Amino acid sequence: MAGFWGKRKRDQQELAAQDADLAKRAGAALVAADERVRVTADELVFAEAELGDDATAELRTALAAVRTHLGEAFRLNQLNYDEIPDTAEELRTRNARIVQLCDWAEDLLDDQTSALAERIARARRAPEIIAGVRADVERLRARIPHARDTIDRLGARYAREALAQVEANPAEADQLLGFAVHSASVAERRREAGQREQANLALEASAESVRRAATLLDAVETFEVEALRAESTLAAIVEDSRGDLVVARNEPQSAGVVAAIAELQAALASLPAAGVNTDPFTQLSRLRDANAGLDAAIATARERAARPIPSIEHVHHAIDDADRQLAVARDVIAGHRGWIGADARTRLAEAERIRVDLDHFLGMPAATVTVIDEDHREQAMAIARRVAHLAAEALQLARRDIDSSRPQDPWGGGPGWGGGGRRGSGGSDVMGGILGGLVIGGLLDGMFD
């Protein structure tokens, strides 16, 4: 018994220590959150001066929400020290709520201030950024004559369609650089006039224009390299395509292979003669597509050659068998409507639905179709076999339901009324039962004579 009371006392002491630690944490969290609100309010003033009211609207809203919820935390803390005595559970609940509110306030302010930190830093470095923009403009303008020379050199080798994506890049880059210089000047003037928000917008537009101009000029140099690579790849693919045509003529000449060979030959014939400006990207893309189509057609032809195609007679036999199975199942189920369960009727309905799908697949009634394309024969046979299988299942389930619905032998001698033996159908069972009863009656009479 002493051990029980000792354990209970230790538990109470541990809980009291935890409550005391929670109270200290709540007090420290309140002080830290209050200080954080004060510091953030000062940062908000500086941010508004640097970025303007619109850019700092989210931080202003977050700060107002934090002040509202911290007011609740201070009221809870005041209840802990008023003249009304509180239970340990009440104190514990209030302190936990205070810690929760303070942690939420810290996290919210951290998110909002970190989102503005980079923009504030950029705004404070505006003079440095403007100087960097002007230096980048001068450097990029020096690249424009070289880019124009590159376009002229490429124009002598490649078709105009190939150069359409980069032909206007030097002129567009020059225009963007002029806009960047103008935007930088606007940013300077607005900053001197105290219009920080407009100054920052102009500065961002200036930096973005410089970035886009650099991308356009880089694209000209990249195009020259990519065009050379495309020409080299095109020559290799032309050689491979001619070899693929030789191999393809020895493959099974299905309709798909013949069409793919014709497409690849047309792609090779469309290549311009030597000395004519070309579009290597378009030609390379067409040859790749034609080669891929030929490979796919050959693979399909090989697969079909390895798998014999059923004859039209076999397909007709499968369709006829499916129709017979379906007719038998339909007649049995229709003749015993009150005895057939849901399973058999479901199988029959599914078989009839798939039989209709077979007609749609062939585009005409399957029973009267005379010609079926080789590509469709195997699938048509599979559908017909599926119909026959479902119809057979429906018939089997229907027979089971009919057998289970017939009356049993009143003498306990097995199925039917005649005892012993397998049940027939209709009047045979009745007659067998009557004959069985007469035989049994005669035997009994003989025993008592």
Phi, psi of 408 (to 5 degrees): -90, 165
Question: What's the token pair of residue 194?
Answer: 């105290």
Reduced to 3 states (helix: H, G, I; strand: E, B; else coil), residue 402 is helix
Span 6-34, pLDDT tens digits: 556 666 667 677 777 878 888 888 888 88
422 SS3 class: coil
pLDDT of residue 430: 37
Summarize pLDDT for 358-381 with one digit per residue, the tens: 888 888 887 777 778 766 788 888
From residue 117, give the alpha-carbon distance in Å to each of 109, 199, 203, 441. 12, 17, 17, 109
Instruction: List pLDDT tens digits, range 385-438.
Output: 999 999 999 999 989 988 888 766 554 444 444 443 333 444 334 334 433 433
Q: Considering only CA atoms, which of 233, 242, 232 is closest in space to residue 269?
A: 242
Q: Read off the tokens for 270.
A: 């469309």
Alpha helices (H) in 52-125, listed in sequence order: 57-79, 88-124
Q: What average pLDDT is seen over the chain? A: 78
CA-to-CA distance for 160 and 137, rounded, in angstroms? 29
d(CA 236, CA 231): 9
Number of other CB atoms surrounding residue 285 within 10 Å:
14
- Higher model confidence: residue 38 or residue 272? 38
Taken in order 292, 294, 300, 306, the sign of the CA dihedral is: negative
How many other C-beta atoms lie within 10 A of the C-beta of residue 245? 15
**Residue 191's pLDDT band (cuts 50, 70, 90):** confident
Kindly tell me the burial class for residue 397, based on how many C-beta atoms sit within 10 Å of its own C-beta (0-12, 13-18, 19 or more): buried
Query: Three-state SS for 256?
Result: helix
Q: Do 357 and 379 contact (CB within 8 A), yes or no? A: no
Residue written as tokens 């199942």?
Answer: 329
Confidence grade of residue 277 (pLDDT, cut at 50, 70, 90): low
Predicted local confidence at residue 333, as pLDDT: 86
The pLDDT value recorded for residue 447 is: 36
Query: Max CA-CA distance within the chain?
Result: 138
Express each pLDDT in 141-160 by its tens digit.
Answer: 999 999 999 888 888 788 88
DSSP conformational letter for 408: B
Confidence of residue 50 (pLDDT cuts 50, 70, 90): low
CA 261, 264, 265, 266 torsion-angle sign: positive
Give the amino acid at 344.
A
Output phi, psi for 170, to 5 deg.
Answer: -60, -45
The identity of residue 73, as a single letter, is A
8 Å CB contact between 181 and 134:
yes
